[in-house]
Amino acid sequence: MHILKHRITLAPDLKLDLYRGAKFLSFQMQHDRLTSWWLEDTEGEKETATLHVLPTGGVVDDGLTYLGTLQDDSYVWHLFRSA
């Protein structure tokens, strides 16, 4: 298992290639960029995960799993993953 870093954008349906079974660890700013860290088995197969970065007050659709919250100055972002 390895801790891997993935950059996050504010795309409505962000596609992220993760190793199957990846476990979310953290979601923070690094060098002024949204960044996530995952625990991943790099010997496994990859899959495409769909993530959603929503602002406070944003609409959370059914079927999304909450991963974490990040505060960036006056902005607060919430990270979700589609089932």
Residue 58 — φ and ψ, nearest 5°? -70, 160
Number of independent structural domains in the chain: 1
Question: Could you list the residue range(s) of the whole structural domain that residue 25 is in?
Answer: 2-82
Note the pLDDT tens digit of each residue in 50-75.
999 999 999 999 999 999 999 988 88
Indicate yes or no: pTM above 0.85: yes
The amino acid at 58: G
Tokens describing residue 43: 């010997």
Percent of the chain at pLDDT exceeding 70: 100
Residues 5, 43: contact at Cβ < 8 Å?
A: no
What does the pLDDT read at residue 72?
A: 85
